[in-house]
Structure formats: C-alpha cells, structure tokens
Structure 1
C-alpha cells in the first residue's frame, strides 16, 4: 500500500513537467495497479491499509488525467510555435524575394536608363592662327548634350589639333559640367610650332559617366552687345540661371561669326558668383578688332 501511495505521489508531482510527464504516466499506471491490488487484498484478506490504497488509486487516476491534459496543452503550444516559426520564415523568404525583385527591377531600370543615354556630339568646330602671334592658334568646339535629363559632371574634354598626316600637334583640356544643351570649348594651342592644323578631334566622357538629374538648371543670357575700338572688341551681357544653389566661377565662352555664319574667333571669361534669381554681368575681350557685322553666341558653363 505504501509503495502504491508513494509511486502515485511521485507520478502526480511529475505529471506537470513537459516530456518528463511521459514517465509520470508510466508511474501512475504502476501506482494504479499496486493500489488496486492493495484494495483487493484488503477486501479479501482483511489487511489494513485500505484507505492508503484508495488514495493511491485516486492520485494515480488524477496523475493520468493531468498527464493527458498537459500533453494536449503543450502539444497545442508547440503547434502554434511551429506555425508562427513557419509563418515568420515564409514572410522572411517572401520579403527577401520581394527585395530581390525590387533590386532587380531597379537594376533593370538603371540599365535601361543608362542604355538610353546618348553620347555627346560635336556640333561644330573651328580654329585659326592668332593675328598678334601666328605661332599660336585659337580653337573652339561646340558640343551638344542631347540628353534632356542627364548631366555629365566635371567631364574631362580633350581637344586635339591634328595635322594632315594624322600627327597630334597639340591638345587642350577642359573640365566642365555638361548640362543638357550646348557648351563651347575654347582655348589656345601653344605648341604647334611650324605645323599646320588640319582638323580637330574631341575626346570626352563615356555615356556611363552621365548622371540622371532632371531639372539640373540652365542659363539665360540677355542684353548681349559688342564694343569695338582700334585694337580689340569687348562683348558683354547679363547672365542668370535657374539653379537652386549659388554658382561660382561660371565660364562664359563667346563665339564670333562673320556675316556668312563662319566662326572667326572665340574667347572666354568668368563670372565669379551667380546667386539664384540674380543677374550677373559678364565681359569677354577679343584681342583684335572684329568687323561691325560680326554676330556673337554666348555659351555659359559650370
């Protein structure tokens, strides 16, 4: 009887513990059998301990009920945990897939946008010997950025003077932000010597250097006028821009054309500061007196 009671008590204590309560169920069955045997012996042979045997049977049955109940409860909790874990894993996988799809779409969009960018194009070029020093040559190249929403930032543009036999006689470099539209490159070749320039070549940035920058801003030129004396011609005007930020050291190139429309000279100066919504005065001085019927084109650049 005592053994049945002790085993039943141990089974009841362990019946609440997950996993271990599997063993508690076995102990409860053992205690139940021992308790029933004790009851039978007490009834047939009149042995003492009937009360303890009854207690062992009752406690054993309670232990079995607790084991079954807790197993069901723990099983539900475990199932819910597994479902939540599966759901979280599925969400993470779906999120990763969505992020990959978004990244792929963005990459495809960037690749498509990059493939749509067109190269800079040379619109016109001209060159000539300076009248005040025939050993030096002036040059000008008008370049167009045909991309309405792309900018070539700090683009390195190299103008090469090429002789009739293909020899590179000299070169000049310019670094500017090429905005949508046209920009003019001008300068002097100092090392041509006794050579004769046949044509100009331009080396510029690749299309992959272009940045997608809608609304980058543009310049407006007004009140262009020329004043000529015996030795030189000065071309001046007003410059403004649609830029959000203040611009500094704006390069202003002036191209001079004769009555037939041919480029006969070019020179440049700088506007030190161009605040938003403000006009700034510019003046470009040509070291020769240009004809009265000369027309002028102004090309500002950052």
Structure 2
C-alpha cells in the first residue's frame, strides 16, 4: 500500500510482484502490459511510491455457452436413437440458437458456444441420416415381408371346396387358397474366362389364378463345408406355370460351389389374378448362329397384355447334347407393345456352338 501522504506514481513501468517482470502503471491503475525487468529504462530514485501490483482479472464463465453445449450433446445422442429421434430434433435447434447467442457474449469464453453450434449441426445431419435409414428399412420390409422361406419347402395348403355361383371377373373365389412356389431343377457353374459363377433355377407357380408380383428370389451358393460363398437376388413377377431364373455370382473368389439354396415368397404373398384377366408373354422362334467362338441367339417375344410392357427380361439357358445346362445369360427388351412383338438377342462365349437354347420371359 502507498502512504496517503506520498503522491501517486506517474505512468510508467514498475515491479509487477512477479520475479523478473514489470507491469505498466497508467497513472491511475495497472494495465495488462508486462515485460521482463530491464527491458526499458528503469525508474530509479523516483520520489513516488510504486503502486501495488495486482493479478490480471479472470474472464467470467460463459454459462450460456456451457448450457448450449450440454443441450447439443444430449440432442446428438437422441438423434442417433431411432425411437427418440424427435427429441433430438427438438433439442438440437435450441442448442444451435443458444450457441450463437453465447458466441457473442462480451468478455466471456467463446469455445463452448462454437462447439455447441458444431455439435448441433452434425447431430442434425446424423438425425436426417437415421430417419432416411428408418424410412428405407420400412419400405424394404413392406416389399420383402414374405421373402424369408425357402421356395418349395412349405407344405401345400389344401384348397377348400367351393360351391355355388362362379365369382365375378376379378373377384377372389370364396375359400380359394394359394399354393407355394415349387423349386425344380437347379444348375450352376463358373465361367473360366471371367471367373464369375452362374446359376439357373427352375421355379413353378402351381396356381392358375394367383401370381407372385415383384417376387424376391435369393439364390445362395454354398461350398462343400456348408459355407455361404455368395448370394444373388432377383425381383420378378412370377406368372402361372413353370419358368427358369438365371443369374451370376460376382464374389465367389477361389470358392468352389457345391450346391445352391433358393429362398423366395410363400403362398401368403400370392396375389389373386384370374387367368381370364391375366396377360402372358409368349416366345417366338429361336434361331442360333456363330461368330468366331461365340454362339449368337435371336428370338422374339409377343405380349397379349392390354398395356405396353417395359423392360421385359428374357432368361436364356443353354444345354449341351446330353441335356446338361452348360451356360446361362439374360437380356432385356426396351418395350413390348400391347398385343405386339419385340425382338431380343444374346451371345454365349463358353458353350458348344450346337447347344440347345431355351428362353423364358419375365415381367
């Protein structure tokens, strides 16, 4: 403390109360300016009492920033939980606004408010991603609700006897019950040139008046030890009768396919469609030729549907002279006109040039 009879020191550098440092006195109070002792001209023998040194004032806490950060962290956690997503969407905007306000608090730390803003923005993005994933999952579950059972393994439900007047066109007969799809012959192999596997599976819809719309068929390749090597999925409309589905395995690597397992919709997924109303696709004459070592196949498909059919798929199976399936391929038509005909063609590289060709159209 200075003596009350001693005049206050003029502005200048004085010992700061910390060894080796001086602080600047502006004539009435201490400033935040400090320097090492001896960095300037010393005030020696001054007739004034040096003011007492004091520590620089500490910045106050930014309470609003801390609150914003806590709310943002909690909102982020809720945004990651599907069942509590709405809570996160309520808390995150609040944290964002509080963070902006905290950022402009005078003489208070800014990092809490800035961090709260960043966390709230990232949390909102995460919440949107979670919501999209939930919505996509719900749609997929609705489409694939019945794609869990192996084709042809469920017991056939006996149809109940019906009597009385015939149902109106388009109306499901009383007591009519759909039957499961039936899995028939299967075949598989590997293209030596590409290293990719291929498969062909025979599927029969025994129902005259039921179809399987947008049916998901999963074909799984297993090795001799029962290890699943690869899976291929096909989505198609399975009309009444027998057909073939073909495809490829892209990720078998060095695995050796021993057998296939096929999974698809059960009878509960069948849709009633009177045979009198359901259209069909019919194949015309198939011709083959050769180009170098490539077997070329050409054909036509005719529709008796009342509307044009876009992207009709043609699955093609090649058999050697003994009847063994030795290769598969498929193609699409751009459009088959209602009541009209469209051409199609495919090519085989690794089958005998005299192979017998079978083709099956699918919606």
Shorter chain as denominator, the TM-score bin is 0.5 to 0.7
Q: Which runs of 5+ in 1 are unaligned?
A: 1-108
2:301 corresponds, among 235, 239, 245, to: 239
Give the counterpart of 2:335 among 261, 273, 295: 273
Asked if residue 141 in structure 1 is aligned to residue 201 in structure 2, the reply is yes
Structure 2, unpaired ranges of 5+: 1-171
Which of 166, 176, 186 is matched with 1:125 structurally? 186
Query: Which residue is 1:282 aligned to?
Result: 344
Match of 1:184 among 231, 239, 244: 244
TM-fit CA distance, 1:199:
0.7
Consecutive aligned runs of 4 or more in structure 1 exceeding 4 Å deviation: none
Q: Does 1:198 align with 2:261?
A: no
Matched positions, count: 190
Partner of 2:219: 159
Displacement of 1:228 = 1.3
Contact 2:181-2:204 at 8 Å conserved across structures:
yes
Q: Does the Cα contact within 8 Å between 1:137 and 1:188 map onto a contact in 2? A: yes
2:287 to 220, 225, 240: 225
User: Larger deviation: 151-160 or 193-202?
Assistant: 193-202
Structure 1 match to 2:97: none
Contact conserved, 1:155 with 1:175, CA < 8 A, in 2?
yes
Q: Tell me the CA shift for residue 211 of structure 1.
A: 0.7
Q: Among residues 316, 320, 340, which one is paired with 1:254 in the alignment?
A: 316
Q: Residues of 1 paired with 2:353 and 2:294: CA distance?
A: 12
Show the counterpart of 2:90.
none
Give the alignment of 1:283-298 within 5 angstroms.
Answer: 283-288=345-350, 290-298=351-359
Relative to the length of structure 1, the TM-score reads 0.60
In structure 2, what is the equivalent of residue 208 of structure 1?
268
Please state how far the C-alpha of 1:182 moved relative to its aligned partner.
Answer: 2.2
Distance 1:269 1:287 in 2: 15
SS in 2 for 1:164: coil
Hey, what's the Cα distance between the residues in 1 that align with 2:289 and 2:262? 32
Q: Which has the higher helix share?
A: 1
Provide the secondary structure at the position in 2 that maps to 1:297. strand
Secondary structure of 1:113 counterpart: coil
Deviation at 1:291, TM superposition (A): 2.1
TM-score when normalising by structure 2: 0.50
**Structure 1, 222-231 or 253-262: larger mean CA deviation:** 222-231
